[in-house]
Structure 1
Amino acid sequence: MRSSVEIFDVVTGETRVVWQTERLVEAPNFSRDGRFLVINGDGLLYRLSLDGGEPVRIDTGFATRCNNDHGLSPDGRLLAISDKTEFGRSAIYVLPAEGGTPRLVTTRLPSYWHGWSPDGRELAYCGIRDDLFDIYTISVAGGEERRLTSGEGRNDGPDWSPDGEWIYFNSSRTGRMQIWRIRPDGSEPTRITDSPYGDWFPHPSPDGRHLLVLSYDGDVFDHPRDRDVRLRLMDMDGGDARVLFALFGGQGTINVPNWAPDGRRFAFVRYAPEA
């Protein structure tokens, strides 16, 4: 077993295994009706039913080199993807959730999608410009991108709060990777975690009660795969965080928004160490 797609219930503390495979799969998103997950593997995207069975491929047209940065719009009608088929570097596209022809959103590359605004009008992403990793937003229709950070360390993994007031992200501006948040206009950057870990991929719950974070050992700077990591839960304003559980994972475990619509469950991928 190489990849195990699982769901954790924060109320009961129980974990449910949805599907296991010898393949490498990553980054589960919940559908808006809570009935299936979207995952990626081998450059393609798949719909995985919570009722069992094998994943069903989503038609992404020419985009066959998709990475683990993808997610459904708040109304469930559109799917944002990041793919490098067309340009050789990651570009952001949107397409119908049921599959279809991708539409390019921004020509500024590379760009890695990470979040939808609650009203479905904007996308948040990490863009690399002149070797600087920063947070950007852009209209889902395209146009000019808005830069929210300005090279203060490495900035990555943006995800909107459900009220649209904040964009959470991880940043190394203080040395170790920690969680921050910023207003959608780029104002009020605020540190959320001050932990001994390397904190990545903050995901606010849909009910606005919790913030889920993937935490590496403090000496790990990037977000590699196949590491001992922790999933930690805290209030949206930070403060004391509790470790839900430790697992073998990292890259691919929770890169993108992964909460169920009910705000009490989230999906993740656990990996088995190679022999």
Structure 2
Amino acid sequence: MKHLLFLYLGVVSSFASDTRPLKERVNEFCQKHRSIAEIEKRHAEWIKQEPDNPDAYILPANALAKAAETVNIVAGDQKDAIAVLTDPKTGKQVGSIAEGPDPAIIKRAEDILKAATKKFPQRLDIHVGRMAMSQRIKDTEAVTTAALDLLATAAKDPQTLRWIDNEQIDGVPLKKALEEVEARIRWLYSFEKDETDKFAQDCALKALELAPGNVELLNFAAIRHLYRGEWKEGREYLLRAEIAAPRDWIVQHNIARASAELGDKADALKRLQAVIKAVPGTDDAKAAEASIKSLGLDVPK
């Protein structure tokens, strides 16, 4: 990922004196300050000169993200190698080439954005940039912390949330904030490990404090329980989701699975048959039919 993160990062509460588009400002800063030392020096000077100028944080963080990109050529294999080196005489592999961000530099960029979220907490775009920065190096704990910090900010006064260059957010600010957190929850669950599943569930539970009837969040809260075979606990969240969206077939399918595992096969069958009747011939209906068979549910003749 070589492109800069200006799509995620923005400027905050007081306006920057430079009114050019953010992309242009970022590119100019990167041209002027190429080395890590130059970027750090300018950042330190800038926050002293203009402590209320968000660009003093945003632009150096983007520049560090660019400077973090590395190309590694080593003997043997590398994870995520983009090319291999072969001996022209033997045809055997003798090395590999991989590229990616230097974790230490990305962590420093994330630290700068973390400081920016403390100074300009209403800037949703900086919170998003901070999460995205940590995602680049698969720092799941840092992403979780950043998501929880965003939710804590949103809980205070979601209407004050703003986007790049202090612009108002289209639509409902809280909805936008929750969508960003939901994207990180989905990412955390993608690792399919209990530790990251817990991180995902923690974020979902905190987000539910702001949106108790959010179906996707309720499903996210249930997923870890279902993965762990905690069917009763998971089903409780799914039943709440059913109240909010009775025709959400994924929710109905998951409730049916939990019911079957808890011994209530009649409820499971009833729900799966309802899906088949409501949307015949669809993928949801086919999945319900497959579940009836796999769960050993008796279909009355």
Superposition TM-score tier, normalisation by shorter sequence:
under 0.3
TM-score by length of structure 2 reads: 0.22
Between structure 1 and structure 2, the one with the greater Rg is 2
**Relative contact order, CA 8 A, sep 6+: which one is greater?**
1
Question: Larger % of helix: which?
Answer: 2
| Structure with the larger strand share | 1
